[in-house]
Amino acid sequence: MDNIYRPYLMTISDMTDEAPGVRTFKLNFSNEDEGRNFKFQTGQFGLYSVFGAGESTFCIASSPTREDYIECTFREAGRVTKALRELNIGDTLGFRGPYGNVFPIDKWEGKNLVFIAGGIALPPLRSVIWNCLDLRDKYKDVTIIYGAKTTEDLVYKHELKEWDARDDVNLVTTVDPGGETPEWNGKVGFVPTVVEEAAPESKDTIAIVCGPPIMIKFTLPALEKLGFKQDKVYTTLENRMKCGLGKCGRCNIGCTYVCKEGPVFTAEEVSKMPDEF
Q: pLDDT-based confidence at 261, cuts 50/70/90?
A: confident
Lowest-confidence segment of 51-60, 206-215, 239-248 by average pLDDT: 239-248
- Calpha distance 223→232 (Å, rounded): 10
Domain 8-99: top CATH class: mainly beta
Domain borders along the chain are: 8-99, 105-236
Helices (H), the chain: 32-37, 79-85, 122-133, 157-165, 191-198, 213-225, 258-261, 267-271
pLDDT at 276: 65
Of 1-5, 18-22, 129-133, 181-185, which range is least confident? 1-5
In this prediction, residues 73-97 reach a mean pLDDT of: 96
pLDDT category of residue 257 using cuts at 50, 70 and 90? confident
d(C-alpha 152, C-alpha 263), whole Å = 28
Quick one: pLDDT at residue 6?
Answer: 86
Q: Which three-class secondary structure state does DSSP give residue 99?
A: strand
Whether 221 has a pLDDT exceeding 70, the answer reads yes
- How deeply is 110 buried, as exposed, middle or buried, from its count of CB atoms within 10 A (0-12, 13-18, 19+)? exposed
Q: Is the pLDDT of residue 249 over 70?
A: yes
Binding residues: 243, 248, 251, 259
At 94 the three-state DSSP class reads: strand
Which CATH architecture group holds 105-236? 3-Layer(aba) Sandwich (3.40)
**Percent of the chain clearing pLDDT 70 (strictly above):** 99
Contact 72, 27 (CB under 8 A): yes
Geometric angle at alpha carbon 58, from 53 and 61, rounded to 5°:
130
> So what's the pLDDT on residue 247?
75
What's the distance, Cα to Cα, between the start and end of the chain in Å?
33
Residue type, 95: F
pLDDT of residue 201: 94
pTM: 0.93
Partners of 29 in the beta sheet?
Answer: 10
Calculate the average pLDDT of the chain.
Answer: 93
As a residue count, the chain comes to 277
Residue type, 204: D
CB atoms inside a 10 Å sphere around CB 62: 23
Contacts of 236 (CB under 8 A, 6+ apart): 43, 59, 103, 124, 210, 262, 263, 264, 265
* Ramachandran class of 97: left when φ > 0, alpha when ψ lies in -120 to 50, beta otherwise: left
Query: Residue 251 contacts by C-beta under 8 Å, 6 or more apart in sequence?
Result: 240, 241, 242, 243, 257, 258, 259, 260
What residues are designated binding site for [2Fe-2S] cluster? 243, 248, 251, 259
DSSP track, 169-230: -EEEEEE-TT---TT--SEES-HHHHHHHH----TTEEEEEES-HHHHHHHHHHHHHTT--G
Q: SS3 of 150, please?
A: coil
pLDDT digits (tens, 9 = 90+) for 4-63: 788 999 999 999 999 999 999 999 999 999 999 999 999 999 999 999 999 999 999 999
User: For residue 187, how many other CB atoms are within 10 A of its CB?
Assistant: 18
Interval 63-87 mean pLDDT: 95
